[in-house]
Amino acid sequence: MSPALEQLPRGRHGLTRDEVERSQRIRIMMGMAEAMRVDGYANTPVAAVITRAGVSRETFYQHYASKLDCFLAAFDFFADRLGTRLTAAVRGEGDPLARFERAVNVYLENLAAQPGYARLFVVEAYAAGLEAMDRRAEVQRRIVEAIAEAFGAEGERDRFACRVVVAALATMVTGPLVAGDASALRALGPQMVAHVRALFEAGLLGR
């Protein structure tokens, strides 16, 4: 079992109420992600989430109004963490290609290391409805902006190229995520970097 899903200690534990509630929220979000990794959004009832999280139904509804509410919270949790790491990768040292490579590796490594959240983020957002799809589109837009920043892409042609690269990568990770193949996910990195390098060197992306 993941350390984050371990039961809170029984009896007196010295944790504040806020610490207990934060632990419960994270456990429920992880329970949601793991349940959906197996059965998908449509086939995952709240009962499956609370079983994996190890909390009561009452505790679930103290924190989340519905399955969708919990899904969106889990989506935002993963998206925020991923966004912070991608921003750091893009704004670090190195030329545009080095920063792009670092960002791609961060993206793929986060998906590979957290398959439950990754499937929720990449695949199940499209099954959860319009609000989830809108959030997914906004995250993808922010990733495009980060890549455009790395390459100094200001013109419409370059920005469109960044959109194509990000959309292609988002599509290509779907198969390995559904198959649970972390090695195939990580293997996409060198291929994508080589493709973007060719675009960059041909003057078709960045300056």
Q: What is the CATH number of the domain that holds 143?
A: 1.10.357
Whether residues 9 and 109 share a domain: the answer is no
Domain count, the chain: 2
Closest CA to 4 of 22, 18, 17, 23: 23
Q: Are residues 97 and 62 in the same domain?
A: no
**To the nearest whole percent, how much of the chain has pLDDT over 90?**
80
Query: Per-residue pLDDT tens for 169-192?
Result: 999 999 999 999 999 999 999 999
Whether 163 shows a pLDDT value over 60: the answer reads: yes
Say which residues have a Cβ less than 8 Å from residue 193's Cβ, sequence separation at least 6: 97, 100, 101, 104
Domain-embedded: residue 139: yes
Rounded Cα–Cα distance for residues 97 and 194 (Å): 10
Domain assignment of residue 206, yes or no = no
Residue 54 sits in which domain range? 3-66
pTM: 0.87
**What pLDDT sits at residue 150?**
86
Domain-ending residue, one of 66, 85, 107: 66
Break the chain down into helix, strand, coil percent, rounded to 5.
Answer: 75, 0, 25
Are 37 and 114 in the same domain? no
User: Tens of pLDDT along 88-123?
Assistant: 999 889 999 999 999 999 999 999 999 999 999 999
